Structures are given as structure tokens and as C-alpha cells.
Structure 1
Amino acid sequence: MTMKSISHIVLGAAILTIAAAGCSKGFLERAPQSSLQEEALTNKKGVNTLLIGAYGALDGQDFNDGNMTDLAGGSGYGVSPDNWIYGSVAGGDAHKGSDPGDVAAALQIVTFQANASNSFFNDKWRVNFEGIRRCNFTLHVLANVQDMTPDEKKQVAGEARFLRAHYYSDLKKMFDKVPWADENAADYKNLHVDDFKIPNDKDVWPMIEADFKFAMDNLSEAKGEIGRANKWAAAAYLAKTYLYQKKYAEAAPILESVINNGVTGKGLHFDLMENFHDNFDAFTENNKEAVFSIQYSANDGSGGTGNANQGQMLNYPYNGPFSCCGFYQPSQDLVNSFRTSATGLPYLDDYNDHGVVSDLGKSSDQPFTPDEGFLDPRLDWTVGRRGIPFLDWGLHPGRDWIRNQNSAGPYSALKNVYMQVNQDKYYDGNGWAPGNAINYVLIRFADVLLMAAECQANLGNYAKAGEYINRVRTRAGNPAGFVKTYIDPEDPMGGTTGTPAANYRVSPYPLSMFTGKDFTMKAIRFERKLELAMEGHRFFDLVRWGIAQTELNKYFRFEVQIASDITGGNFAPRNNYYPIPQRQIDLSVKNGKSVLTQNTGY
């Protein structure tokens, strides 16, 4: 059985037993019949099953049904590991979409008007701590296992600590002040993270670093089962942890090792895929660009949609061939960023002065000609826009696929959409909204290259930074990866021509331009915006660069002219981090005083 098919397995008997135990104090005082005891897990098979459960928490959805909402509840879309709400919409990549009143709590978050009582924050907090609890329990049991070799134990420990560091990284960049609990904490086995009485008064970056460092030093180089972490995934994540702390000298050599070595000679060497869209197609996933991915599957016989990507369930075009729901609409600001000049380079400073023509205000039966100027081809693998092939679903019809143009603009999300040609394998319609088998690539090689470029720029190696940026741009400019016109627009699955669907032009920068830090960093920041658009990174990048207030308020001033849903949006210094959930502060009371403290300004 591969990791792809088992990554969402949880210890059913054990979890149900612990869940029942959480229902009443009296139940805690007696051993339940037919329960799975810890002793039964203290062996090689048991601890590996626990580890799989720790992987299974990556999607945040395992306890997301009506029977388990008190454990780590919340909607799949609200806790999605790709952070489409917290990272992309809040970062200006997109609008919430749909109608303003539909999931209004999310709109409060992305206009920075949410307070600590917003339930989305509590849901996100709880699902990450559920992942941490599973990792800690795995490590606790592992310590007493007798039928494993030391090397086998190191492998399991490395994977568990990798996963724990991932969950903590997500919490750290979201909330900053989070309590640290490892397998040695007194409360490590509590199912309800509400029961933790641990203060959030310490910086957890050093502990996250230690976990990733242990994983890098102890995990095997080979990829092994699909979905498992290896040495190089841990190395890339450790380097990213350093990058968030501006430890460029520490991050740079690790990123160089990932770029230059990967696992050469062991079946994989990381590189960019020739076709940009291969990173967002279930048929071509787990490829050489995927450093670490959260695995999803559809129609796999497991029942329901538990293994499908439910985090993106709302984010398909409204009407048409999709059942839900018109959320996650790319912004005009993002679309304009893909404009290029005759030289194939972007307009770094004044891209909104070179706007891309849209069908805003036009019905689908009114004539419309798509923009005929120069564009970066990544635009049409990222954004669905009228008159351009929308994968193999046909030409995007414009307003007929948009729920509310005035509220959220004229565009549709695209990277999360499955192909029509193989939807029998990769689309899961068992739930109330679409699920699919498209993995979320948590770290891909393009991200590694751009992180390496950022380190080199901050270390004064500007030409080297330019080389890494240009590797990414050269792939983008490969005509083999352009969106092409249909042979027959009435039969979009009938194949494509060799003709580009728009006037694509993208070129590498002349290396002579990389002579100072200001320009080099500006190019890196813009390239990350283009390459990683709609992948949940933008807000967190802006914050760590220290430019979130400037860039997001500029975004609000421009974008409110296009779409009304962000009216009143304003970013203040406190918004660098989201508020600690009030529910958690209230539940942390010890001796009459809350152990958890709120972030400044909330």
C-alpha cells in the first residue's frame, strides 16, 4: 500500500476511544471496553500506523465531520493547508469571491477587520495542534518500541519531527506567539488542545529549527514511498525556517545542497518541469519539481471524500460544469502583474499602469476580445479569463461563470481545477462540493530556487541571485509550456494546435542588471508573486519582507476600483500576525488567569 493511499488513515479504534473519553469526566475514570491500549501500539507496526496518522493530519480534515467537531472542527476550506484564505486572498492574489455575505467571516479576515473571536482562527489553531499531538504521541510510543533497529527508529523519529515542525511553522507564521509542546510535555497526549495550560511566551523558531535539523540529519536521501518526507524535503524546509528569521548565511548552503544534489543517483534529481502546469495536474504530480507534497486521491474506494482535496471545495467557477461555488477569484492587481514589455520583462514598479483588458461589466453574450498585448504565459495557467482556454473545459465564457462580478471581479481560479479528460479518476463528487486528487505542493523546486536567490541577494552575490531567477523565467518562456488554442473550440478535449492562446512573451533578465541589492530583491519579490501566485505564499512573504503594510494598502486603493468586496480594507502594523483565538485564551485559564496572551493590538 503506497503513502498516497494510506496517508489519511487514522487509528480508528484509538481515536474513537480517546474521543469518547473526552465526552465526560466520568468516562475518564474507567477503562473503556474494546479499546485500543497504548501497549498494543508499542511495536514496529503500531508506531508506523501512528506515524501515518500524523501524515493524515496534513489536510486538516480528518476530524471534520459532524461527530468529531469538538476535536478539531471547522470547514475543510477554512483549514486548508494551502492557506488560500490567509496567504493568497489576504495577500492580494485574489478576492474571497462569491457574494459578500457568503462566508462573511473569511471576508473579515482578508480586509483585516477580523477580531480574535473569528471562528476561522480557532479552527486553524486546532487542526495544527491536532497534527502536533499525533506527532508527539508517535514519538512517545517510539521510545518504548523494542522490535526496531536504531536506524528504523531514526527514520520514524525524523519523519515525526519533520511533520511536527511543519505544523508549528504554519502556526508560527500565522500567530507568532504559540505554546510549544513536545513528547516530553505533561499534556502531550491530550486530545483536546484546549486543555493545554502552556504559556505562549517563548519564540518557537529554535525548536522548529531543531526538529527540521534532526530530520535532515536522520532521514534517508531516497524518496521512498510517495508522500513521505526525506532528507531533502527537511533541508528545504529548514532553509525556509532560516529565511523567515533572516539567517541568510545559514540558509544559503543548505539550499545550494538541495539545488546541486537532490538525491542524484538515487532515482531523483530536483529540477523544474518543462511544463509549468504539470505542477497542478493530478496526472503529472509527484514529479521532479515536487520537493514535498500533501497527497490527495479521489474515488479510491475509501468512502466519502475524506482523501480528496476538500480545502479547495468552494473555489471552482460558478455555474458551468462545476458544482461549487465561485470563490477565490484572482485580483486585477495579480493579473496586471503578468504584463510584459516588448523585451519580455515585467513592469516591476508600475504594472497597474499597463493593465490587462478584462470583460468586467460585460455579459457573456456581448462581444469581447481578450487582451492582445504581451503577457507572461503563467497568467493563463493561474487565472481563468474570458476567451482563453480554461484547461480542457472550453473557452472561459466570462460572466456566466462568475457569481458576482461587481463584488469580486471577472476572473476564476485555475491551479486548483482538475482536467475534464481524466475527471473520472481525479474528481470526487461524493461530497456537497467538489473534491479532487490534485496534490498541494508545499515546497516545489521553483520555490527553492527563489529562496536561494533571496539568500544570495542578501549576501551580496547579485549575479548568482539573477541566475536563479532566470532559471525560473526561462522555464516560463518555454513555448512548449504555453497555453494553446483548441483545434475545435466546440470540442475542447479534442486537442490543441501549436498556436499560443495569447501574445506570450517572457524573457530572462540580462545579468548585467543585477548589480545591487535593491533591484535584485525587487526582481525576486516580483518573481515570487508571479511564479507562486494563488499558492498561499504571498501574505507571509510580504510580512517577512517587512513591506506588508505598504503593499497591501496600495493594493486596496487600486483594487477597490475593480471590485467592491474589499471596501474598507486596511492593513495596520498589528496585522502582521493574526490574533490568538479568543476561544483558546478563554480555555487556558489556570488559577484564575489566562495562560495564553494575545498578540499586540488585538
Structure 2
Amino acid sequence: MKKTIIKGVSITAMLAFVTFACNDKFLDVPATGQLAGSQLTSKAGLEGVLLSSYAQLNGRGFSRATSSFNWVRGSVSGGDANKGSNPGDGGGNTNFSTFQRFELLPTNGDVNDKWRGMYEGISRANAVLRILPTAAADVSDADKKRISAEARFLRAHYYFELKRSFNMVPYIDETLDYGQGIELVKNDVDIWPKIEADFKFAQDNLPETQAAAGRANKWAAATYLAKTYLYQKKYTEAKALFDQVIASGVTTNGKKYGLLANYTDIFNAARDNMEESVFAIQAAVNTGDVANSAQELDLNFPYNTGSNGPAGCCGFFAPSFELANSFRVNANGLPLLDGSYNTGANQLKNDQGIESKATFTPDAGPVDPRLDWSIGRRGIPYLDWMVHPGLDWIRDQSYAGPYSPKKFIFYKAQDKTLTDGSSWTDGYSAINYNIIRFADVLLMAAECEIEVGSLETARTYINRVRTRAANQDAWVKTSDGKNAANYVISNYTTAFASKDAARAAVQFERKLELSGEGHRFYDLVRWGNVSTVINAFITYEAQKLPLGYSGAKFTANKDEYMPIPQVQIDYQAGVLKQNPGY
């Protein structure tokens, strides 16, 4: 079986306890849908509650913006893509245009769902830790050690998400019983030390491998702890851990971490839980519940594709002009780090405003091959579906632009087997999302090397990522086996001239390698250049898509974080403090 974690667990059922009104046995009737305490303290019960915390990784039960994928906040706010579709599509909890325009309000439903969804995951992890001291006899000491470590890993993940999304948030652990004073916890203490402590505990107590794919292991915890240090600019501490992971880290099934030979396999459901996966949201289909699938991506397919394309709906998450241009390279196959990719003939030729029935020849200039693994564009094969027809697959080019997402799209050969056809769309797929993958690890490690280590080691790590992209056997091909475009890519063959030059290289490499994977906005915030980069992006994109970007603006010292949801402030009157600027 591809997946071994089953996510459809109701926390309400798992955490409810039976109350007895008298001593007569025949009157002891458990409430429907509830479990007795003895059922929860068994090994099966504890594992069930633990798996319910894993289940929350994809935002189950909340909006699409809740998922730990972060395609809305990380990629749309980061300039990888725009909301897509058309201006009228997506009111209420799918009005993602507020994320691209930086018009979030404390009353935004998606903002509140992100808050609630992360605290739901925390509450489930806390439930495990609260029950564990009373574990039944069938729970061994080794089980207790592993289960507590997994629960603390998951709790740390959800708090990491809250920290980088909202900054100052209340910290609630298993010692606080829900409904008994929890509403009095203020958001006036930095929670980074708590996150560090949980990941460190997980690193020290998790096994190196796990029986079930998808469970956190020692190396996933070490990597996430290093990432936590990186976000705080603790480069020395982060480097030490990244060194260990790169040298010795293994997946849960014992395979040594590495880069897949074929870039597209990272986003192929048939290759899930491979050696590039450090920690992933597990997706499964045809389980009887589409919430177990990659449900948060059901809108992110080319529009109106019919039987010749995937899903048929809904045109969301359209890659930006600026991102597409970024894949332009010079004659030697290196990126244009000076920003000239957005000027003159360097801009990627596209079919904006050109009917599909009209003649169009794709760009003939040199481009990084990852362009056509990452972005669907006219005249280039779209996986195994067909050649992308352009306008016919775009709901509204004047609002969304000419491009379609291409990562996290299922293959035609996988339809109905690695997708769930039981609902309104085949877009519920079994494609995992890698919260951390090995290329990400190499590039984070390169950042640390630049700051406290060796520029040459950083160059080696960056080149490892680029070398994989240079695998010509995996480049997108036409039906006659030729390269679909003028692909040119090379390594950095000379030493970086300075730390600033090295920083520019690794930051741009992250943009290309990880585009559309929910990282970009958070990277810009932690690098400290988010205001400059995003406002330049908006200025450029508004020339192409005035309907989506005219009048938009990123406000420094405000838009780095989302507002604390107003409903949470109202509920906890006088306790929670709103973020600056809202």
C-alpha cells in the first residue's frame, strides 16, 4: 500500500469521556460516538489520538488556506502565483485575492481558519501527552517514548506555523485543560524556545526509522529543529544539525536522503515517500473520505479542460509573469541575478490575449529546464495529458494571466486510481506535499554555510541542486523525443566573490527550485527584504494584470504577519493583543 497513516479520525469522538450517573451497571450506557477513558489509554486509543493530530496537517475540516502546504500565504503572497480564476470566483473563505493584494483584515475567515486549524492540531497533540501518564499496561515504555516524541514533534510543527504566520501567539501545552482557564493565556511571550524544546525532545527520542511511512523520525525532527534555528538566524546551531542530516539522515523506511534523478517525480503520487522526502503531508484516495486526499488543492487545476486535461476546474493558483520570467538564463545557463529577466527581450514570451486557435510559437530563448516542470504554458506538453492549448485552459487571462500550475497535478494515466472520482472533481489526488524535502535542506544548509561556514561548501550544495536539474533525460520532451524548449543550465563554476553574491545565488535558487511549494513569502520575511521584493513584484505584475494588482501594496512592519483573528480577540476580551498595523 502507498499510504500507511489513515487520517480520518474524529477528535471529538476520541476525546470524549463517559460520565456515570449511578452505580447500577445496567444504567451505564455510553453516549453514542464517544469513547471510554480506558479505550483512549490503550495503545490503540493513544495511536488513534496521535493520528488525529497528523490528520490536521492538511487543514482537514477548515479552509484551503489552513493546510501546512501554505500555497495561499507562502506562494500567492510571495509572488509565485496569483489567486487565479476570475475576479468573482472565490468569495467568502476562498477570497484569496486579499492575500495577493495584502488586504487581509482581522475578520477574514481564512485567517481565523488558519488559527483554528493549527490550534486544533495542537489540541490533539496535547491530548496524547495528557493521556499518556495513565497509559494502559499494553503500552510499553518504548511506545510511550516514541508516542510522546511524535506528539511533541507535531505540536512544534503547528506552533512553528503559528509563529511565522502570526508572530506572537498564546502557548498552550498539555498542562492546561481545555475549558478551564485556557482563554486567559496571553500572546505576550515569544514561543521560539518552546518550539525548540519540542523539536529537541523529538530528535532525542524518536527512532531513526518508523514502521509507517509519514510518521516523523529522528532526522525529520533534527531537520525541523535546524529550520527553527535558521528562522532565528542561529546559523551556527542550524549548520551543525544540517551537517548531520546531510551526512547521515535517512527516510522513515531507512533510505538515505538524496535528490531524485527526475525533478517531476517529487510531485508524482507514485513516487511518494521517496528519498527526497524528509517530512510530508500524507495524501490517500478512494478511502471513503476525500478529506484524506490532497483536498486543499482541488481548485488548482487548468480550467475547462474537458476529457483532454485534468480535473476541469477551477483555474486557481496561476503562476505569475514574474515567476515565469525568473527561469530565463544567460547563454551559460546561469540565472539573471541582476533582475534583468523582467526587462526587454528577457521577458518570457507568452500567449496573453492570443486565442488558442491562432498561431503561436513558444519562447525560443534559453531557459532553466525547471520552468516546464513547474509552470504550464502554451505549446509545451502538459505531463501526459496534451500540449497546453493556452487560452482555452485559462478562465480569465485578463485576471489570472496565461499560465497554469504544473506541480501537484496528477497524470492522465493515474486518473481514478491515484485520484478520487467519487466527488464533484477528480482533483482530489494522492499526491503528498513535502513540508521539508532534501533539496530544501541543501539550500537551507547553504545559507548557514554562507553566514558562519564556507562559501565553497555553500556553492557545492547549490550546485548539487542544479546538477539534478541538468539531467537531460528528465527534461520535458515533445512527442518526437526532442527537448520541448531551449533548456540550458549549468553550475556555478567559480567561487562566489562575496557573501552578498553567495546570498543572492542561494536565495534565487530557492525561488526557482521551490516555486509554488509555499515557501517564498516566509523566505522573504526571514531574509528581511520582503517589502522591497514584493512591492517591486506588485509594480511589475500590475502592468500585466491590472485587475488583480493595481493599487495593491505591501506595508512594512505590518504585512509580514497576518492579523490576530478578531473573533479570537473578542472571545478572549482583554487577553490577546492585535498585531501592529491592524
TM-score by length of 1: 0.90
C-alpha distance after superposition, 1:33-79 (max 9, x if no partner): 34313332112221111111111111111xx2xxxxxxxxx43x232
Contact 2:77 2:521 in 1 (8 A): yes
Q: 2:47 aligns to what?
A: 48
SS at match of 2:434: strand
Matches of 1:448 and 1:80, distance apart in 2: 21
- Residue 566 of structure 2 is aligned to residue 588 of structure 1: no
Aligned match for 2:141, one of 150, 163, 188: 150
Check conservation: 1:51, 1:156, Cα contact below 8 A. Answer: yes
CA shift digits 1:480-516 (9 cap, x unpaired): 22111124xxxxxxxxx2x21111011110132x131
Residue equivalent to 2:104:
114
Say whether 1:382 aligns with 2:409.
no
C-alpha distance 3-435 of structure 1, shift in aligned 2 (>3 A):
closer
Q: Does 1:232 align with 2:223?
A: no
Within-5 A mapping of 1:330-409: 330-349=319-338, 350-353=340-343, 354-409=346-401
Amino acid at match of 2:491: P
Counterpart position of 2:408: 416
Q: How far is the alpha carbon of 1:5 from its aligned partner?
A: 4.6
CA distance in 2, matches of 1:296, 1:2: 9
1:279-314 per-position Cα deviation (integer Å, ceiling 9, x unaligned): 000011110000111100112xx3241211110111
Q: Partner amino acid for 1:55?
A: Y
2:483 aligned residue: 500
Task: Name the residue aligned to 1:177.
Answer: 168
| Separation (CA, whole Å) in 2 of partners of 1:530 and 1:264 | 25
Gap regions ≥5 residues in structure 1 = 22-29, 65-73, 488-496
Letter in 1 for 2:357: D
Match among 458, 475, 482 for residue 482 of structure 1 = 475
Task: Report the residue type matching 2:570 in the other structure.
Answer: D
Distance 1:580 1:12 in 2: 26
User: Cα distance, 1:416 vs. partner?
Assistant: 1.6
1:551 maps onto 2:550 in alignment:
no
Provide the rounded CA distance (Å) in 2 between the counterparts of 1:411 and 1:176: 33
> Any idea what SS the aligned residue of 1:442 has?
strand
The answer as to whether partners of 1:304 and 1:431 remain within 8 angstroms in 2 is no
Q: Which amino acid aligns with 2:226?
A: A
Q: Partner of 2:296 in structure 1?
A: 311
Tell me the amino acid that sits aligned with residue 103 of structure 1: G
- 1:436 is matched with 429
CA distance in 1, matches of 2:422, 2:332: 48
Partner of 2:23: none
- Report SS of the residue matched to 1:560: helix
Structure 1 position 461, deviation (Å)? 1.3
Matched, 1:291 2:284: no
1:113-152 alpha-carbon deviations (Å, 9 max, x no partner) = 1211111100110011000000000011111114223222
Question: In structure 1, what residue type is equivalent to 2:562?
Answer: Y
Distance apart, 1:415 and its partner CA: 0.5
User: Bigger shift: 257-266 or 476-485?
Assistant: 257-266
Q: CA deviation at 1:597?
A: 0.6
Asked if 1 retains the 8 angstrom alpha-carbon contact of 2:14 and 2:40, the reply is no
Question: 1:262 deviation in Å?
Answer: 1.1
C-alpha offsets along residues 201-234 of structure 1, whole Å, 9 cap, x if unaligned?
Answer: 1111100000000001110111431110000111
Q: Deviations over 1:153-178 (max 9, x none)?
A: 11101110010111111111100011
The 3 A distance-change label for structure 1 pair 14 and 264 is closer
Q: 1:513-528 maps to which residues of 2 (within 5 A)?
A: 514-528=496-510
Three-state SS of the structure 2 residue aligned to 1:329 is strand
2:155 is equivalent to residue 164 of structure 1: yes
Secondary structure at the aligned position of 2:278 is classed as strand
User: Once the 2 structures are TM-superposed, how far is the Cα of residue 408 of structure 1 from its aligned partner?
Assistant: 1.4
What secondary structure is seen at the aligned counterpart in 1 of 2:468? helix
Query: Paired residue for 2:125?
Result: 135
Unaligned runs of 5+ in 2: 20-27
Following superposition, the deviation at residue 3 of structure 1 comes to 5.5
Partner Cα distance (1:430, 1:264) in 2? 32
- Native 8 Å contact 1:8 1:55 kept in 2: no
In structure 1, which of residues 68, 84, 102 is the aligned counterpart of residue 89 of structure 2?
A: 102
AA paired with 1:363? E
Q: Distance in 2 between matches of 1:525 and 1:265?
A: 29
**In structure 1, how many angstroms separate the alpha carbons of the residues matched to 2:497 and 2:364?**
33
Distance 1:374 1:536 in 2: 26
Equivalent of residue 218 in structure 1, options 196, 205, 218:
205
**Which amino acid in 2 is paired with 1:367?**
T
Flag the 1:149–1:14 CA change in 2: closer, same or farther, 3 A.
Answer: closer
Looking at structure 2, the residues matched to 420 and 177 of structure 1 have their Cα atoms a distance apart, in angstroms, of 45
Counterpart residue number, 1:598: 578
Find the counterpart in structure 1 of residue 562 from structure 2: 578
CA deviations 1:237-270 (Å, max 9, x no partner) are 0000000000000000100111010139973100
Task: Write the letter of the residue equivalent to 2:302.
Answer: P
Query: Are the equivalent residues in 1 in contact too, given 2:72–2:96 (CA < 8 A)?
Result: yes
- The 1-side partners of 2:507 and 2:211 are apart by 34
Change over 3 Å in CA distance of 1:200–1:342 after alignment to 2: same
Q: What is the letter of the counterpart of residue 343 of structure 1?
A: N
Q: Secondary structure at the match of 1:293?
A: strand
SS in 1 for 2:436: strand
Q: 2:314 aligns with which of 325, 328, 331?
A: 325
Aligned residues: 559
Distance 1:281 1:214, change over 3 A: same
Task: Write the deviation string for residues 501-534 of structure 1: whole angstroms up to 9, x where unpaired.
Answer: 111011110132x131100000010000000000
Q: Is the CA contact (8 Å cut-off) linking 1:7 and 1:227 kept in structure 2? A: no
Structure 2 length as normaliser, TM-score? Answer: 0.93
- Read off the aligned partner of 2:509 and give its amino acid letter: E
Per the alignment, in what secondary structure is the counterpart of residue 4 of structure 2?
helix
Contact 1:463-1:511 within 8 A present in 2 as well: no
- How far apart in 2 are the matches of 1:37 and 1:234? 32
What CA distance in whole angstroms lies between the structure 2 residues aligned with 1:539 and 1:450? 16
Match of 1:91 in 2: 78
1:31 Cα deviation from its structure 2 partner: 9.4
Say whether residues 1:509 and 2:509 are aligned partners: no
Q: Report percent identity of matched pairs.
A: 48
Residue type of the alignment partner of 2:421? G
Letter in 1 for 2:358: Q
Letter of the aligned partner of 1:534 in structure 2?
G
For 1:136 and 1:511, the matched residues in 2 are separated by 51
Q: 2:543 aligns with which of 539, 554, 561?
A: 561
Distance in 2 (CA, whole Å) between partners of 1:266 and 1:97 is 38
2:251, 2:275 within 8 Å by CA — same for their partners in 1? no
Q: CA separation of 1:325/1:124 partners in 2, compared to 1, >3 Å: closer, same or farther?
A: same
2:129/2:174 contact within 8 Å kept: yes
**Partner-residue secondary structure (3-state), 2:96:** helix
**Which shows bigger deviation, 42-51 or 157-166?**
42-51
Q: Which of 441, 445, 448 does residue 438 from structure 2 map onto?
A: 445
Q: Deviation at 1:10?
A: 3.5
**Could you tell me whether the CA contact under 8 Å between 1:4 and 1:297 is conserved in 2?**
no
